[in-house]
C-alpha cells in the first residue's frame, strides 16, 4: 500500500533528501510548467524585511536556492547581515557548504527540533516547505520561538490541502490504485494559523496564486515517482497513469492545481511603534 500522506516519517524524509537530485527534479517541474511567472521562491524572498546587520537563520534550506537572489543583489550584500543556512540532512548540508562556503554566509547542520543557538538570537527565521515534514510540530515551533528575538519575525511556507496532492489522490481513486490516505499532514495552509498561534501572538497568511499547465505528462510522472512517500508505486502503473493524465489534457496541457503560500509570525503584539507591526505592513 502506498502511503501518500506520510510526509513526516523521518527515515523517509532523510531518504528523499539524501541527495539533492530528486529535489532538483521536483523543482524543475515547477520551473517548467508554472503559470505564475514570478516563481514561488522569488515571491517569498521579496517579502523578507531585510535590514542592516540583522541575524538571519534559515531552517531546512535544502539546496539553498533562495539565496541566489541574495547573491545577485549587491545592495543586499552591503547590509552585512549575519546569515546562517541549515538543514538536518548530511547531503543537503554538504551541498550548502560546497555552494556557499567563502561567500559570507554560515552553514550548519541543524534539526529544527533541537536548534543549537541560544534564546533570542535571530531577527528573522525562515523555514520554507519543511514544517510538514516534522511530526512534533509543537516542539519545532517552540524551538523557533525560543531562538527568535522578541521583535523578530518567522516566515514559513507550506502547501494547502486543495493542490497537487489532492489532484493525485483523485487520479489514484479513479484508477483504483490503492493508497493509504493519511490526512494528518502536520503543517498546511489550512491548519498553519492555528498551530502558529500557540507560539506566536501575531500570525498572518499570504497566498501565492499558481497552477501547473503540463505539456509533457512524462515530466509529471517523473515527479510522482521521485517522491519518497510514493516509493510503493508500481512501475507497472506508469502506462496507466500516463494514459489517464494524457487523456485529461485540454488545449495540449494537463491542468494541475497548486495551493502554496506562507505565514508570517511575530512573537508579540504591539502599538503603533511596535517593530513587528511596522514590518507586517511594510509590503
Ligand atoms: C522540500 S525541502 C525544502 C527546501 C527549501 N527550503 C526550499 O524551499 O526549496 C525540505 C527540506 O527540509 C529538510 N528537513 C526535513 N526535516 C527537517 C528537520 N527536522 N530539521 C531540519 N531540516 C529538515 C530536508 O532535509 C529538506 O532539505
| Tens place of pLDDT per residue across the chain (283 aa) | 555 445 556 666 666 555 556 667 778 899 899 999 999 999 999 999 999 999 999 999 999 999 999 999 999 999 999 999 999 999 999 999 999 988 999 999 999 999 999 999 999 999 999 999 999 999 999 999 999 999 999 999 999 999 988 899 899 999 998 877 665 678 999 999 999 999 999 999 999 999 999 999 999 999 988 876 666 788 888 999 999 999 999 999 999 999 999 999 998 754 444 444 445 544 3
Alpha carbon 133 to chain centroid, angstroms:
10
- Is 222 a domain residue? yes
Instruction: Tell me the CA–centroid distance for residue 205 and ligand 1, in Å.
Output: 20
Distance, in Å, from the CA atom of 218 to the CA atom of 243, rounded to the nearest integer, reads: 10
**Residue 64, ligand 1, Cβ within 6 A:** no
- Is 3 a domain residue? no
**CA quadruple 93, 94, 100, 102: dihedral sign:** positive
Number of domains in the chain: 1
- Is 64 a domain residue? yes
- Is 5 a domain residue? no
- Is 1 a domain residue? no
Instruction: Tell me the CA–centroid distance for residue 62 and ligand 1, in Å.
Output: 5
CATH of the domain at 140: 3.40.50.150
Alpha carbon 54 to chain centroid, angstroms:
23
- Is 54 a domain residue? yes
- Is 80 a domain residue? yes
**Residue 7, ligand 1, Cβ within 6 A:** no
**Residue 61, ligand 1, Cβ within 6 A:** yes
Closest CA to ligand 1's atom 24: 60
**Residue 133, ligand 1, Cβ within 6 A:** yes
Instruction: Tell me the CA–centroid distance for residue 11 and ligand 1, in Å.
Output: 13
Q: Which domain holds residue 23?
A: 10-280
Closest CA to ligand 1's atom 9: 62
Interacting residues of 241 by C-beta distance below 8 A, sequence separation 6+: 171, 175, 221, 224
Distance, in Å, from the CA atom of 9 to the CA atom of 228, rounded to the nearest integer, reads: 10
**Residue 59, ligand 1, Cβ within 6 A:** yes
- Is 39 a domain residue? yes
Please give the number of the atom of ligand 1 that sits closest to the Cα of 110.
21
Amino acid at each position: 500500500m502506498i502511503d501518500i500522506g506520510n510526509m513526516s516519517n523521518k527515515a523517509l524524509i532523510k531518504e528523499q533528501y539524501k541527495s539533492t537530485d530528486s529535489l532538483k527534479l521536483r523543482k524543475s517541474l515547477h520551473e517548467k510548467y508554472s503559470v505564475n511567472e514570478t516563481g514561488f521562491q522569488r515571491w517569498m524572498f521579496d517579502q523578507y524585511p531585510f535590514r542592516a546587520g540583522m541575524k538571519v537563520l534559515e531552517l531546512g534550506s535544502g539546496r539553498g536556492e533562495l539565496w541566489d537572489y541574495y547573491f545577485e543583489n549587491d545592495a543586499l550584500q552591503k547590509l552585512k547581515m549575519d546569515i546562517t543556512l541549515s538543514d538536518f540532512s548530511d547531503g543537503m548540508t554538504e551541498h550548502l557548504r560546497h555552494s556557499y562556503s567563502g561567500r559570507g554566509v554560515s552553514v550548519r547542520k541543524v534539526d529544527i527540533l533541537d536548534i543549537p543557538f541560544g534564546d533570542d538570537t535571530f531577527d528573522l527565521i525562515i523555514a520554507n516547505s519543511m514544517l510538514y515534514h516534522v511530526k512534533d510540530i509543537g516542539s519545532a515551533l517552540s524551538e523557533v520561538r525560543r531562538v527568535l528575538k522578541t521583535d523578530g519575525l518567522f516566515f514559513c511556507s507550506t502547501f494547502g490541502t486543495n493542490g497537487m496532492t489532492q489532484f493525485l489522490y483523485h487520479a489514484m481513486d479513479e484508477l483504483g490504485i490503492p493508497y493509504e490516505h493519511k490526512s494528518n499532514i502536520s503543517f498546511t495552509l489550512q491548519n498553519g494559523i492555528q498551530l502558529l498561534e500557540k507560539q506566536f501572538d501575531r500570525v498572518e497568511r499570504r497566498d501565492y496564486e499558481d497552477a501547473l499547465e503540463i505539456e509533457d505528462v512524462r515530466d509529471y510522472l517523473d515527479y510522482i515517482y521521485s517522491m519518497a512517500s510514493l516509493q510503493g508505486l508500481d512501475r507497472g502503473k506508469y502506462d496507466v497513469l500516463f494514459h489517464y493524465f494524457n487523456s485529461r489534457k485540454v488545449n495540449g496541457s494537463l491542468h494541475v492545481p497548486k495551493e502554496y503560500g506562507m505565514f508570517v509570525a511575530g512573537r508579540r503584539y504591539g502599538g503603533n511603534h511596535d517593530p513587528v507591526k511596522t514590518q507586517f505592513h511594510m509590503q
